[in-house]
Amino acid sequence: MPHIALHPDLYGITSLLDFRPEIAAPLCRLTQLLLRGESTMTEAEREMIAAHVSSLNACTFCSSAHTAATCLLPGGKESGIEPMQTDLQALHISDKMKGLLSIATKVQKNGNQVTQHDIDVARASGATDLEIHDTVLIASLFCLYNRYVDGLATLTPSDPEFYTTLGKRITTRGYLMPEDGYDATNYKPNII
């Protein structure tokens, strides 16, 4: 059960964005810019950073949702990513993405864990300053979301279908809040 009184028919982050919409607005704009804004990284690559950090933080809701989103985007399914996966070497991705995900791995521990060597490796495989910047900020943003979702013990569905539906929503509509708020659906997933 959540630690505070949230809408009973909303789950994970959605129940929190609904609780405090005035704070949700800039948070959603930030997420939209980073994961859907113009970038030299594909949307699947950016979703993969979100899924990877969420796995390291053991946040089932975010890890499952962003893995589902990654797999629905071009190139995502072929990468071999799956929910709660922490092994980068098992992924079929470019050396540049491995370099960037290694930086994200350090950021998940703490910002001061990132070394000049980590940055040099990513640059040597073709990463630009902007890609490194966005990787660090996406990883940091999911250190926020994961703590927010689990720190308040929001409801976490266990059904894979729930995350496929959510993945479709965030890969088609993006992250900006609907003007009339989030709809509770009649679908009642099982809860972990």
Could you list the residues that contact another protein (CB under 8 A)? 3-5, 16, 19-20, 22-23, 25-27, 29-30, 33-34, 37, 57-59, 103, 106-107, 110-112, 114, 130, 132-134, 136-137, 139-141, 143-153
Residue (57 or 67) nearer to another protein, CB: 57
Angstrom distance (rounded) from CA 156 to CA 136: 26
- For the CB of residue 71, give the shortest distance to another protein in the complex, in Å: 24
Q: What is the closest distance, in whole angstroms, from the C-beta atom of residue 80 to another protein in the complex?
A: 26
Instruction: Give me the least distance between CB of 31 and another protein, in Å please.
Output: 9
Residue number, 3 or 190, with CB nearest to another protein = 3
